[in-house]
A and B are shown apart, each in its own frame.
Chain A
Amino acid sequence: MTENTALDTIEVHPITFPPDVLARISPELSLQRHLSLGIRPCLRKYEEFREVTIENNTLSRYVDTENVDAKNNILGSNVLKSGKTIVITSITGGIIEENSASIKDLDDFGEDELYEITKEENVVANYASIYPVVEVERGRVGACTDEEMTISQKLYDSVLHSRILPKQALKVKAGVRSVNEDGTLSVLYPDELENDPSNETNLKMKRKWSYVLYAKIMVLSRTGPVFDLCWNSLMYALQDVKLPRAFIDERASDLRMTIRTRGRSATIRETYEILCDQTKSLPLMINSQNIAFASNYGVIDLDPESQLQDPDNAEEEVDIDMDEARPVLIADLDTEAEETSIHSTISVIANAKGNYTQLTLVGAGAKITPEMIKRSLLLSKVRANDLSTRLNE
Chain B
Amino acid sequence: MNVQDRRRLLGPAAAKPMAFSYTTVDAVEKTVTNTPPKDGEGEEVLSLHTGFIENCNGSALVEARNSRHQTSLITAVYGPRSIRGSFTSQGTISIQLKNGLLEKYNTNELKEVGSFLMGIFNSVVNLGRYPKSGIDIFVYLTYDKELQNETLDEELQSKKLFSQISSLIPHCITSITLALADAGIEIVDMAAAGEANGTVVSFIKNGEEIVGLWKDEGDHEDILECISACKEHYKRYRDLMISCLLEQNNLDAKSA
Contacts and interface: CB of A to CB of B under 8 A. Distances in A.
Asked if chains A and B are in direct contact (CB within 8 A), the reply is: yes
Interface of A: 59, 66-74, 77, 84-86, 88, 90, 92-97, 131-133, 137-139, 141, 143-144, 149, 152-153, 156, 177, 184-185, 187, 212, 214, 216, 218, 220-223, 244, 246-247, 273-279
28 contacts: A67-B34, A85-B54, A86-B52, A86-B53, A88-B101, A93-B18, A94-B17, A133-B9, A138-B55, A139-B78, A143-B4, A152-B9, A153-B9, A156-B9, A184-B25, A218-B100, A218-B140, A220-B53, A220-B74, A246-B18, A274-B16, A274-B19, A275-B20, A276-B21, A278-B21, A278-B22, A278-B24, A278-B27
B215 interface: no
B76 A139 contact: yes
Across the A-B interface, give the 5 residue pairs with the lowest CB-CB distance, nearest first: A139-B78, A131-B11, A96-B15, A94-B15, A221-B53
A88 B143 CA distance: 11
Contact of A141 (B55, B96, B145): B96
A94 B161 CA distance: 23
Contact of A278 (B10, B20, B142, B161): B20
B24 A84 contact: no
Contact of A73 (B4, B53, B102, B142): B102
Contacts of A244: 18, 20
Contact of B8 (A67, A141, A152, A222): A152
Contacts of B74: 220
B189 interface: no
B18 A277 contact: no
A246 B17 CA distance: 12
Given A139-B138, A221-B52, A187 B8 contact: no
Contacts of A85: 54
Given A88-B101, A277-B24, A212 B9 contact: no
Nearest to B11: A131
Contact of B25 (A69, A71, A185): A185
Interface residues of B, number: 47
Given A74-B102, A131-B11, A152-B8, A88 B27 contact: no
Contacts of B100: 88, 218
A222 B59 CA distance: 13
Nearest to B13: A96
B71 to A, nearest CB: 13
A274 B19 CA distance: 8
B30 interface: yes
Interface in B21-53: 21-27, 30-31, 34, 52-53
A378 B250 CA distance: 43
B19 A212 contact: no
Contacts of B148: 67, 69-70
B136 to A, nearest CB: 6
Given A66-B30, A278-B27, A214 B20 contact: no
Nearest to A131: B11
Given A67-B34, A70-B148, A221-B54, A149 B21 contact: no
Contacts of A77: 101
B180 to A, nearest CB: 14
Given A67-B30, A137-B76, A212 B12 contact: yes
B18 A94 contact: yes
Given A70-B27, A137-B140, A247-B21, 6 more contacts: A86-B53, A92-B17, A96-B16, A137-B55, A212-B15, A220-B53
Contacts of B101: 59, 74, 77, 88, 90, 216, 218
Given A67-B30, A279-B27, A143 B7 contact: yes
B120 to A, nearest CB: 20
Contacts of B224: none
A187 B20 CA distance: 14
B11 A59 contact: no
B30 A223 contact: no
Contact of A95 (B10, B15, B104): B15
B188 interface: no
Contact of A72 (B7, B76, B96, B102): B102
Which of B24, B30, B52 is the most central at the interface, judged by chain A CB atoms within 10 Å of its CB? B24
Nearest to A144: B7
B14 interface: yes
Interface string B72-100: 00101010000000000000000010001
A153 B54 CA distance: 26
Contacts of B21: 177, 247, 275-278
B146 interface: yes
Contacts of A152: 8-9
Given A133-B8, A220-B74, A70 B16 contact: no
A279 B30 contact: yes
B10 A223 contact: no
Central interface residue in A74, A86, A222, A223, by most chain B CB within 10 Å: A86
B56 interface: yes
B34 A223 contact: no
Contacts of A246: 18
B26 A139 contact: no
Nearest to B30: A67
